[in-house]
Amino acid sequence: MNRPNAPLSAVPAPVPPSRVPGATADRRGLGKGDPRVHVATPHLELSTKPAALVLRAARLAGPLFRDDAAERTGLSISTVNRQVSALLKAGLIRERADLAPSGAIGRPRLPFEVNLADFLTLGIHIGYKVTSITTHDLLHRVVGAIQIPTPVAENPEQTLAAIGVSARRFAERWTGKRVLWVGVAIGGRVAEGGLVDHPRLGWESAPVGRVIAEAVGLPVSVASHVEAMAAAELVLNPDDEQSSFLYFYAREMLGIAFSVGGTVHTPTAGPPVIGHFPTGPTTLLDPEKTGRLEPAVSDTGVVEAARALGLSVEDVEGIHALARSGDATARALLEERAQVLGRTVGLIADIFNPDHIILGGQAFTDYPATLPTVARAVRETSIATKRDVRVSHSGATVQQQAAGAVSLDAIYSDPLQAITLTA
């Protein structure tokens, strides 16, 4: 695998593959012993299991009383009582005696909330150039984050082992916290067992789930990163459960995901591939005249176009800086990128006909001055003249939020089952 790595400052270097140790951590939180692994296929949906409904009510509205939880979830009060008792025993929620009404008698009058004191999850987003590693609390909030250059190695196993050791060492910083699960978000096709085909990295059936689980010593879920980003939108805005949305991601790679009824569609054949789509007419982009979307509007493609136009830039951030300082060529280049992206979004939206469109990725969020151009191109291209187009709630942290959504998927989907797998 021969590709450049973006230089990063003030981040810990990954462990060289030759120094990556074997699996020495158990599932309880990065200790010794258990070499077994558990690799899960994430659900990427708003679960309807009773324990999941109660935990979600606590996450969204806590602290709340049991009768309030019954109203929010549609469960009977007896079912809520059973789930609250089980979640309390598992430690995933805690009671707030200090908030009990004056004169209240009995535990049902004690409000409960998600326990943020004891648990974390570990998220890993493996990008073409940069890998981000994050810890998340049970509200899906980022507690800590680092970035490392995605390691270049002789084979995927060595790259993954190096990432796994960096992730384990990062998680070990949170002493006194129990890390429950690892979530990996990555481009390409993810098959059962966390096997990944990633053409840009040159990987075929790379054992992402197994290697990360062995290195970190925790259960692992692996998902396609664009589908994970769509799942993060559901976590951040569960009102989308009753609607459908098309998630369109653009940065170094481009991809789409579709969610309906609170579930992200995960095709067996893998996420839709759109990088080969035709761009339509371009003037400044695509100096090699490929006519294809990803070579034209990816970060690398835009940088190549800028250089062909005589701009002295090292990366896409340099183009943004020139545009902000008034450089007409840089602005025109970014406007054309926005037009091409908007046309593509409009055409794909006509196929899925979603209730709304969510734009994610730094191609949209890092230079928001072009968002009106994207929206206009969507309107002019789509047969529907009033498409609802939104920017992702995750903003510039979309990769972190995607990894976090995968790391929390098992807990949010079936919390009582998930907690037993970490014991």
Alpha carbon separation from 20 to 152, 363, 387 (Å, rounded): 14, 35, 50
- What the chain holds in terms of domains, given with CATH numbers, is 27-44+118-231+399-421 (3.30.420.40), 50-114 (1.10.10.10), 238-392 (3.30.420.40)
Under a CB-based contact definition with an 8 Å cutoff, are residues 148 and 141 in contact?
A: no
- What average pLDDT does the chain have? 88
Give the closest residue to 246 by CA, choosing from 260, 232, 235.
260
Give the closest residue to 261 by CA, choosing from 47, 40, 41.
47
**pLDDT band at residue 32 using 50, 70 and 90 as cut-offs:** very low
Out of 23-32, 46-55, 73-82, 103-112, least confident range: 23-32
- What is residue 102's predicted lDDT score, i.e. its pLDDT? 64
Half-sphere exposure of 266 (CA within 13 A, CB side): 23
Tell me how many degrees the CA angle 133-223-361 measures, rounded to the nearest 5: 65
**Hey, CA dihedral for 396, 397, 401, 402, is it positive or negative?**
positive
- DSSP labels for 59-98? HHH-SB-HHHHHHHH---HHHHHHHHHHHHHHTSEEE-GG
Helices (H), 91-246: 156-171, 208-216, 225-236
Instruction: Identify the DSSP state of 139.
Output: T
Instruction: Say whether pLDDT at 18 is over 80.
Output: no
Write down the pTM of the prediction. Answer: 0.86
Under a CB-based contact definition with an 8 Å cutoff, are residues 172 and 160 in contact?
A: no
Instruction: Say whether pLDDT at 19 is over 50.
Output: no
Question: Across-strand partners of 390?
Answer: 358
- What is residue 128's predicted lDDT score, i.e. its pLDDT? 87
Please write the tens of the pLDDT for every residue from 321-350: 999 999 999 999 999 999 999 999 999 999
Give the closest residue to 337 by CA, choosing from 351, 319, 325.
319
- DSSP labels for 272-317? PP-TTSB----SSS-TT---BHHHHHSHHHHHHHHHHTT---SSHH
Tokens read off for 94: 């805690």
Mean of the pLDDT values across residues 347-374? 95
State how far the Cα of 296 lies from the Cα of 284, in Å rounded to an integer.
Answer: 10
Read off φ and ψ for residue 14, nearest 5 degrees: -70, 155
